[in-house]
Amino acid sequence: MFSIDYSHTDYAKLMSDMAHKMHVKLKRNTLVIPEDIANGYFKYIPLGNGLQCMLSDYTLNQDMYMQRNRSDKEFYILRFDEISISDTLMVKIDNDYIREGKQNRASVLLTSSLYDFAYQAAKNTAIRSINVLITRKWLKQYLDIKSMDKVLQKYLQLKTQSYNFAPFDIEYRALFNEVMDGGDVAMKRSILENRIMMMVEKFLTHLYQKLNQLTEDDKIKISPDEIKRLMEVESYLVKDFSTPPPPISFLSRVAAMSTTTLKNKFKKLYGNNLYEYFQKSRMHRAKILLLSQKYSIKEIGSQLGYSNLSNFATAFKKEFNRLPSQLIA
């Protein structure tokens, strides 16, 4: 098992120590992981206004354990994770634990340097992640810290309750894919930083609204365990756009819910019906591919399961009110 224990408040220092332990050299703020540990990389991105970001995209070739020890220097870490668990995954926040079995999920989690944080992942687990280090100075300078401070403290007190794991929605998914697909190639730094900041601001805005409305009466209740299962359903929906979405009968088995319950709770959690979510996600994926300018419109349509280019153009215009050709003109 590969393990690393750290207490840094600086991603550049963390990357340097990880490279030393893996016996590799950093190249342009990127650590290519040795194949005996994993296939993939870590990448450090200094953001504007004192924020830092670390991207990671790897599949483990052995078990791995990473622990960040608590620090007296207070800061926050916002994690955007897309994980395919091969066997087991353990997440530890302070003295609380979450253990998850084989599943796929995409979620957002905020942690604090005031708590220990660790995770242990089994061999063949695949992880794509955007980690953003947020200082109190940044919160004070760019947000209304007087109103956010109580919200953040209330959130962090929940620790490992599944309420903490916010699911990806369509906007998170589109931004996440744009950063991950562009973070290891020649994507303009200003665009990359913009997308990451959009994700940070979206999370903090939503968190403020959500925790200020906890007492609101809600007819459709979703338990922590149901949230996990709905996250797995969402992962199946966006797994492969080249084929039709999974049938509702299959998704119901994944969620361990009746079809009616699944439909109602998925819409409550993600804001769209199951197949509306699939279609919107497919069109946002098309937009990212178009903007990358790596593929022709025909190639993108084919990748997304359209044998008829006219149908692809119509679907794209319905979502974005313009044709694919107009986006890249």
- Domain boundaries, given as residue ranges, for the chain: 2-211, 224-327
The pTM assigned to this predicted structure is 0.81
Q: Closest Cα to residue 42, out of 30, 27, 52?
A: 30
Tokens standing for residue 6: 């750290």
Of the pLDDT bands very low, low, confident and very high (cuts 50, 70, 90), residue 329 is low
- Structural Rg of the chain based on CA atoms: 20
2-211 and 224-327 share one fold: no
pLDDT of res. 216: 45
- 110 forms bridges with which residues in the sheet? 78
Q: Decide if domain 224-327 falls under CATH 1.10.10.60.
A: yes
Q: pLDDT by residue (tens digit) across 260-299?
A: 999 999 998 888 999 999 999 999 999 988 887 888 999 9
Reported as a single tens digit per residue, the pLDDT across 154-186 is 666 655 444 467 788 898 998 998 898 865 444
Reported as a pLDDT band with limits 50, 70 and 90, residue 145 is low
Q: What percent of the chain has pLDDT over 70?
A: 87
CATH topology of domain 2-211: Jelly Rolls (2.60.120)
